[in-house]
Amino acid sequence: MRDETEAPAPAAPQRELKPANENPWYVLMTLYGEQKGDEIDWDLHEKNRQVWNAWAVRGAPQRWDHKEFSREVANLLEVPSAECNQSKWNDLINAHLKQSERVQDAFKRVYRERNGSDVQVPELPSALDKVNFSDVIFEETVCAKQMVFPRGVDFTDAIFGKRTIFERTLFGAQSYFLGVEFEDGVNLENSIH
C-alpha cells in the first residue's frame, strides 16, 4: 500500500511531435506532392523519388561517383543508374523542374504552400547531413520505395499514422528506428541496411 503522504510520481514528459510538413527533409522528399488516399500514386512517387535520389547522392561517399558502384546500387534498388550517380545530379534535376526553378526555389515554394506564406522557411537541407525525421508525425502515407539515404536517417520517436513503404530503400551509414510507431504497418521488403 502506498503512503498517502508521499508526493505523486512526476508524470512522464510529453514529447512534442512536429508535423511532417514542417520538416524540411519531408518537404524535399515529397516535393511533387504527398500521397493522399488509400492507393499509391506511382507516377507522383517516381517524380519525388528521382528528385530525392538526385539530391541525396550528392552527399554520398565518394565511391558512389564510381560508375560500377553506382550501377550496382541502382541494380539493387531497381532504379535507373543515373539516379545513383553524383555526376548526374544536374541532369536529373533539370529534367524535372521548370527551367526557371531550381530545387531550392521549388523547396521554398512548396514549404510555404504547406505551412503558410508568412512562415520562416528553413534552408534546404545539406545532402552531407544525416536525414532527421526524429519526433515527426507523418499523417499521410509515406512511400520511400527505392529512395536512398546514403548518410543515414534518424526516425527516433517518429509516428507513422498511415501505411509506410520502405521497400528497396537504401539506409546507409547509421540509421535509427528507436521508439518508432507504425500505426498502419510498414513494408521493409528488400530494403538495404
Q: Which domain holds residue 180?
A: 18-187
Give a yes or no: residue 54 inside a domain.
Answer: yes
Higher pLDDT, 110 or 85: 110
Give a yes or no: residue 119 inside a domain.
Answer: yes
Residues 159-164 have a mean pLDDT of 96
Mode of pairing for the β-strands spanning 18-19 and 148-149: unpaired
Give a yes or no: residue 11 inside a domain.
Answer: no
Give a yes or no: residue 178 inside a domain.
Answer: yes
Joined together, the cell numbers standing for residue 57 give 547522392
Number of structural domains the chain divides into: 1
Min mean pLDDT across 13-17, 36-40, 109-113, 172-176 is at: 13-17
Which helix (H) or strand (E) segment holds residue 160: the answer is strand 159-160
136 closest CA partner among 121, 157, 115, 116:
157
How far apart CA 121 and CA 109 sit, in angstroms, is: 9
Q: Average pLDDT over the chain, rounded to whole? A: 83
> Over the Cα atoms of the chain, what is R_g?
19
Residue 152 has pLDDT above 60, yes or no: yes
How far apart CA 139 and CA 162 sit, in angstroms, is: 6
pLDDT of residue 78: 76
pLDDT grade for 154, boundaries at 50, 70 and 90: very high
Tell me the residue type at 144: A
pLDDT of residue 99: 43
Quick: pLDDT tens for 71-108: 777 777 777 776 666 565 556 555 655 544 678 888 99
Quick: pLDDT tens for 35-83: 998 899 999 999 999 889 888 877 766 655 556 666 777 777 777 776 6
Residues 177-186 have a mean pLDDT of 94
Give a yes or no: residue 103 inside a domain.
Answer: yes
Joined together, the cell numbers standing for residue 37 give 488516399
Dihedral sign, Cα of residue 176, residue 160, residue 139, residue 172: positive
Give a yes or no: residue 8 inside a domain.
Answer: no
What backbone torsions phi and psi does residue 174 show, to the nearest 5 degrees?
A: -105, 120
